[in-house]
Structure 1
Amino acid sequence: MIVKLPFGKDKVELELPVGADLLESKATEYTPEYTEEELVQKALENPIGTSRVSELAKGKKNIVVITSDHTRPVPSKVTLPIYLKEIRKENPDCNITILIATGFHRPTTDEEMIDKFGKDLIENENFVIHMSQNDEDMEYLGKLPSGGDLLINKIATEADLLVSEGFIEPHFFAGFSGGRKSVLPGIASQRTVFANHCAKFIASDKSRTGNLDGNPIHKDMKFAAEQAKLAFILNVVIDADKKVIAAFAGDSVEAHEEGCQFVKDLSSIKSTEADIVITTNGGYPLDQNIYQSVKSMTAAEACAKEDGIIIEVSKCNDGHGGEGFYQTFKQAASPKDVEDEILKVKMEDTIADQWESQILARILSRHKVFFVADEGTKEILEDMHIEYSSSVEDAIKKAIEIKGKDAKIAVIPDGVSVIVNK
């Protein structure tokens, strides 16, 4: 069998080794009854747990729509025009600001904005990019359940109506993306993000893919959305080709929960115990850097034996994705040293990208990782104690030399789309 692995905007072919396990979301087989546009429109016309957004927008002068940034494959060219039309249906003269939820990521470039939203939207709508480091742009909304300060962008707090769009997929420590994540970390201050992504929470066995129950990170995020008065969400579910296969709109909690259940039903796979696990970060835009690629490595981690080898196939043409993240590993003697030091850090002392470093260090401390990436990333990977491979075939050859010809192999074509159940 030939398996096509997403790699940037392309795909690389892999001949599945004899006896290998293929682990993938049922989304690959799911066929929606309607077109992408129809799914979005029907969701907006039949909201869950609240009135239509056109009704909520009546009489409102200042409406803010939170949307995702360049690192998220939300098909905004499809969703946003329909969403804006619905908002303006009963209030055509309202003032709408589209706030790009960068969280702690770098700002979205002009080129990336056009690629994501389309030239027409960029030229005719008011977009603002959230900058988490600018405390003067934030408003204090109290204390999070965790004890951290909740500060979010004033553009959102000053809105007469705050709504968001996004997508739902399994998330490696928040349980699922979407819903409340538009606020925290989406439009929160870096101080708030740091508190929420502290070492204690990341280490919790409740902060795992596909779990919201008792998840301390989710609890903070949900509280932040409530305090921000997030009144309505439009969240979609997408397939491997980034096409909408389902849409959920309405109350930020109820609509999100229904969407999460849909994703859970599609994405849950039974864990295996493999000597070698091959995975990807789902291609562009999620595999632009090493930072984001840690997500899919957690799916491989859940399927690998204690001393199993992980092969990550991720283009990473944008490099490491976070200077602090990169330097943490470059300056460390070993990944185990990174993990041990981070576990000592108190919530109030959390630093940039610490959470991603913590998870990557946990994986690298327990598994050898071969990383198939853009050639320009080779030196960066090696600085971070990760072995670069020029191709999937090269990585498999190296792994078999270590594990032997009878090694059990598992392939997860899209590691960010699955929930691994033990």
Structure 2
Amino acid sequence: MKKITLPFGQETLEISLPDERVAGILVSHAHEYKAAKTETELVSEALANPIGSPRLSELAKGKSTCVIISSDHTRPVPSHIIMPQLLKELRAANPDIVISILVATGMHRPPTKDELIQKYGAEIANKESFIIHVSRNDDDMVSVGTLPSGGDCRINKAAANADLLISEGFIEPHFFAGMSGGRKSVLPGIASQVTVLANHCSEFIDNPNARTGILKGNPIHEDMLYAAKAAKLAFICNVVINADKKIIAAFAGDCEKAHYQGVEFEMALAGVRPVPADIVVSTNGGYPLDQNLYQSVKGMTAAEATCKEGGVIIMCSACSDGHGGIDFYNTLKESSDIQQAMNIIISRSRNETVFDQWESQILLRLLLHFTIIMVTRAPKQLVEDMHLRYAETFEDALQQADDILWHKGIQNPKITIIPDGVSVIVK
């Protein structure tokens, strides 16, 4: 028997499969990469040797205000390691600089106080000045230009008005932006709903270059890069993490050059070859990335890249926070016909994009080709409302998958396992 450990919320699922049924296990090499230095040392070294930029201490001189864009609670960015070093270097060079931490919620809900403490540590969460971005608050936004796609580029005015704008984040495969990190802290991180909706339009989501691991020719990436430059994002500190959410590499400096070096490092580790199978098991990497169904679509797309047409995806994702987006949930719940729902989304122009449409579009794309079974803590009714099948246990999910495929004339179907679906680029 093949025994495999899957991340699931803040715990794990232990599954066992007959050896003869396992077609392959797709794992990012980042999970086995051994850094020669500690997490703190890696970040410190990156800040001391910025890529394509002066040191942060030099940039801080003569500035009155600084805004640090920081990822929100849905991202496993180790801010408790990165943020203290950013604050220390800024204040060592300019003790009087006024610093604000702008939490890049994008279109997500605001973090709670407990989530801020968990992310930054009590000292920073209680003593530093935080601004929580709310994309729907038009009064908080200001225009800084026009996106290449033609959309209005509106960002949080706290960032636009800062003398120095920097960001922290992490780099991982992203299912339509190609890779996370860098420019993404601005769009969608601190952008207006108007800008996010234009960038996440059905035309772009449908573009074959808007896929995991692709930056060149990706219209979503091109918009995001423009937004970062228009916002005058002067410096970034991005990290690459392993399955334990530990830093294995850090990249600091220019928002484009440092990001690309980080992307190159991550892509060399994350790339895996597909192992086609009728059943593919995936996860969203555990907490915090598997808090809801909305985020879990990412891990499903890794399975999409290696699942045979008409096959079954078993998605193991805790989803303790439920659906993660009411518009996303309602779109699926109110759709009796999957193809018709997709046609409606595709027919919308860029200026007609609705909230969470992109997530609905990708999930509908998957449902048109595969059966998706959720092993989850989300309520059964909620899961079924979204045209997904529900399973309390992995064993239950596998039995359902076998039954579905048996009725299609497939017996003892092979299984490919992706223990961390958000960490790999299946190509």
TM-score (norm 1): 0.98
Count of matched residue positions in the alignment of Structure 1 and Structure 2: 420
Which of 398, 412, 422 aligns to 2:418? It is 412
Query: 1:335 deviation in Å?
Result: 2.3
Separation in 2 of the partners of 1:377 and 1:69?
A: 25
Q: CA contact under 8 A between 1:174 and 1:207: conserved in structure 2? A: yes
Which of 141, 145, 152 aligns to 2:144? It is 141
The residue identity in structure 1 corresponding to 2:7 is P
Query: 1:371 deviation in Å?
Result: 0.4
Separation in 2 of the partners of 1:93 and 1:264?
A: 40
1:17 corresponds to? 18
1:207 corresponds to? 210
> 2:217 is paired with a residue of what secondary structure?
coil
Query: 1:275 deviation in Å?
Result: 0.3
2:349 corresponds to? 346
- Is residue 197 of structure 1 aligned with residue 204 of structure 2? no
Separation in 2 of the partners of 1:221 and 1:102?
A: 15
> 1:65 is paired with a residue of what secondary structure?
strand
Query: 1:334 deviation in Å?
Result: 2.7
> 2:73 is paired with a residue of what secondary structure?
coil
- Is residue 5 of structure 1 aligned with residue 11 of structure 2? no
- The percent of aligned pairs where both chains have the same amino acid is 56
Cα RMSD over matched residues?
A: 0.9
> 2:367 is paired with a residue of what secondary structure?
helix
Separation in 1 of the partners of 2:372 and 2:149?
A: 34
Separation in 1 of the partners of 2:172 and 2:348?
A: 29
- Is residue 159 of structure 1 aligned with residue 165 of structure 2? no
1:37 corresponds to? 40
Q: CA contact under 8 A between 1:372 and 1:391: conserved in structure 2? A: yes
Query: 1:88 deviation in Å?
Result: 1.6
Separation in 1 of the partners of 2:268 and 2:295?
A: 24
Separation in 2 of the partners of 1:357 and 1:336?
A: 12
Separation in 1 of the partners of 2:192 and 2:65?
A: 22
Separation in 1 of the partners of 2:379 and 2:423?
A: 24
The residue identity in structure 2 corresponding to 1:358 is Q
Cα deviations by residue, 1:284-308 (Å, 9 ceiling, x for unpaired) = 0000000000001000001001111
Cα deviations by residue, 1:332-390 (Å, 9 ceiling, x for unpaired) = 1132222111000100000000000000000011100110000x421111111111001
Q: CA contact under 8 A between 1:36 and 1:244: conserved in structure 2? A: yes
Cα deviations by residue, 1:138-182 (Å, 9 ceiling, x for unpaired) = 011121000011100000010000000000000000000000000
> 2:368 is paired with a residue of what secondary structure?
helix
Q: CA contact under 8 A between 1:162 and 1:231: conserved in structure 2? A: yes
Cα deviations by residue, 1:240-259 (Å, 9 ceiling, x for unpaired) = 11000100000000000000
1:385 corresponds to? 387
Separation in 2 of the partners of 1:337 and 1:16?
A: 38
Separation in 2 of the partners of 1:34 and 1:112?
A: 28
2:275 corresponds to? 272
> 2:347 is paired with a residue of what secondary structure?
coil
Cα deviations by residue, 1:37-58 (Å, 9 ceiling, x for unpaired) = 0000000000000111111001
Between 106-115 and 67-76, report the one with greater CA deviation. Answer: 106-115
1:401 corresponds to? 403
Separation in 2 of the partners of 1:362 and 1:79?
A: 37
Which of 365, 369, 380 aligns to 2:368? It is 365
The residue identity in structure 1 corresponding to 2:419 is P
Q: CA contact under 8 A between 1:17 and 1:409: conserved in structure 2? A: no
TM-score (norm 2): 0.97
Separation in 2 of the partners of 1:145 and 1:196?
A: 10
> 1:288 is paired with a residue of what secondary structure?
coil
Query: 1:86 deviation in Å?
Result: 1.4
**Structure 1 unmatched runs, 5+:** none
Which of 292, 311, 322 aligns to 1:289? It is 292
Between 76-85 and 184-193, report the one with greater CA deviation. Answer: 76-85
The residue identity in structure 1 corresponding to 2:18 is P
Which of 93, 98, 101 aligns to 2:96? It is 93
- Is residue 126 of structure 1 aligned with residue 125 of structure 2? no
Query: 1:210 deviation in Å?
Result: 0.3
Separation in 2 of the partners of 1:207 and 1:17?
A: 36
> 1:366 is paired with a residue of what secondary structure?
coil
> 1:89 is paired with a residue of what secondary structure?
helix
Separation in 2 of the partners of 1:109 and 1:337?
A: 38
Query: 1:416 deviation in Å?
Result: 0.3
Query: 1:272 deviation in Å?
Result: 1.8
Separation in 2 of the partners of 1:329 and 1:233?
A: 37
- Is residue 300 of structure 1 aligned with residue 303 of structure 2? yes
Separation in 1 of the partners of 2:391 and 2:128?
A: 43
Separation in 1 of the partners of 2:72 and 2:151?
A: 25
Cα deviations by residue, 1:81-117 (Å, 9 ceiling, x for unpaired) = 1111112221122100000000011111111111111
Q: CA contact under 8 A between 1:334 and 1:385: conserved in structure 2? A: no
Query: 1:4 deviation in Å?
Result: 0.8
Q: CA contact under 8 A between 1:164 and 1:230: conserved in structure 2? A: yes
Separation in 2 of the partners of 1:337 and 1:9?
A: 37
Q: CA contact under 8 A between 1:316 and 1:377: conserved in structure 2? A: no
Query: 1:75 deviation in Å?
Result: 0.6
